[in-house]
């Protein structure tokens, strides 16, 4: 079992280009698994972890409701934003500058074959990272992602998640608001959940900006511990 993960930080990159790149890596892993099954080739499958920041974009999961996008295409253009319907789980999500997006593309057979556990580990990685900043984050029953003040009138989401898995290979992932412009969330019903607010790490800490490089380092540390994995850069 290969527990090494190639880390790639793509910087600011168009959503569709990144999605296509994810599909390319995903397909290569699946193809290797198919070859191993058919030919008993014994080839090692790779794992990847992509960090990226997207220009303003709204994405709708395969089970999502288009009516959760509250503006027209013309209004999106005015906001320099685009829209895509995608093949992950979940409803509507926003990505934009000031948000750390992570796409683990893993062969879970290198780690464990449990999608529920995989999602809980992603949430735990974020919960532990926010704890490093003195914030008590938690899960909200029945609602994937990471929240603050769950069960109160002040509940607010700080990290959205949506994944796809096939043959135990994952893609898509999480989006953590660090220095995000929260005004863009007003153009949708986040994750299709009405009446819940959205927040960002800089807002919670009362800072103009938070060091995103430091946040990434903390996320990787907790991911590595949870998955018992090692990261490397080419």
CATH superfamily of domain region 4-232: Bira Bifunctional Protein; Domain 2 (3.30.930.10)
Please indicate if the annotation marks 95 as binding a ligand: yes
Residue 159 is among the residues annotated as catalytic for this protein: no
pLDDT tens-digit series, residues 129-142: 999 999 999 999 98
Name the more confident of 19 and 64: 19
User: What pLDDT, on a 0 to 100 scale, did the predictor assign at position 13?
Assistant: 97
pLDDT tens-digit series, residues 144-163: 899 999 999 999 999 999 89
User: What pLDDT, on a 0 to 100 scale, did the predictor assign at position 63?
Assistant: 77
Please indicate if the annotation marks 102 as binding a ligand: no
Range with lowest mean pLDDT among 23-37, 114-128, 182-196: 182-196
Q: Which of 137, 191, 219, 220 is catalytic?
A: 191
Tell me the pLDDT band of 192, cut-offs 50, 70 and 90. low
User: What pLDDT, on a 0 to 100 scale, did the predictor assign at position 53?
Assistant: 98
Number of neighbouring beta carbons within 10 Å of residue 176: 25
Mean pLDDT (the chain, rounded): 93
In sign, the C-alpha dihedral spanning 94, 97, 100, 106 is positive
Please indicate if the annotation marks 174 as binding a ligand: yes
Query: For residues 156, 159, 163 and 169, what is the CA-based torsion angle, rounded to 10 degrees?
Result: -150
Strand ranges (E), the chain: 4-12, 48-53, 57-60, 82-85, 92-95, 99-105, 137-140, 143-148, 156-166, 169-177, 197-198, 230-232
pLDDT tens-digit series, residues 95-104: 999 999 999 9
Please indicate if the annotation marks 139 as binding a ligand: no
Residues 6+ apart with CB under 8 A from 91: 60, 61, 63, 64, 65, 68, 191, 192, 193
Number of neighbouring beta carbons within 10 Å of residue 217: 11
Which among 185, 175, 232 has a CA at the least distance from the CA of 15? 175
User: What pLDDT, on a 0 to 100 scale, did the predictor assign at position 233?
Assistant: 94
Please indicate if the annotation marks 113 as binding a ligand: no
User: What pLDDT, on a 0 to 100 scale, did the predictor assign at position 78?
Assistant: 92
Which among 9, 207, 196, 176 has a CA at the least distance from the CA of 98? 176
What value does the mean pLDDT take over residues 169-192? 89
Q: What percent of the chain has pLDDT over 70?
A: 97
User: What pLDDT, on a 0 to 100 scale, did the predictor assign at position 212?
Assistant: 98
pTM reported for the whole predicted model? 0.94
Domain range summary for the chain, segments of one domain joined by +: 4-232
């Amino acid at each position: 079992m290969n527990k090494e993960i190639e880390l790639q930080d793509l910087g600011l990159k168009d959503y569709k280009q990144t999605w296509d790149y994810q599909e390319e890596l995903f397909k290569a892993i699946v193809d290797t698994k198919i070859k191993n099954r058919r030919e008993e080739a014994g080839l090692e499958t790779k794992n990847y972890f992509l960090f990226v920041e997207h220009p303003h974009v709204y994405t709708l999961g395969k089970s999502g409701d288009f009516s959760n996008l509250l503006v027209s295409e013309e209004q999106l253009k005015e906001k320099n934003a685009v829209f895509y319907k995608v093949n992950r789980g979940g409803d509507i999500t926003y990505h934009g500058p000031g948000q750390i997006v992570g796409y683990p593309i893993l062969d879970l057979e290198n780690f464990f074959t449990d999608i529920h556990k995989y999602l809980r580990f992603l949430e735990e990685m974020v919960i532990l990272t926010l704890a490093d900043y003195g914030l008590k984050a938690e899960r909200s029953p029945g609602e994937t992602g990471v929240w603050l003040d769950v069960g109160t009138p002040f509940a607010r989401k700080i990290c959205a998640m949506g994944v796809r898995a096939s043959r135990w290979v994952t893609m898509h992932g999480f989006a953590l608001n660090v220095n995000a412009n929260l005004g863009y969330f007003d153009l949708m019903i986040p994750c299709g959940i009405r009446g819940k607010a959205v927040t960002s790490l800089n807002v919670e800490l009362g800072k103009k900006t938070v060091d995103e490089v430091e946040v990434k380092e903390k996320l990787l540390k907790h991911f590595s511990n949870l998955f018992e994995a090692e990261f490397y850069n080419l």
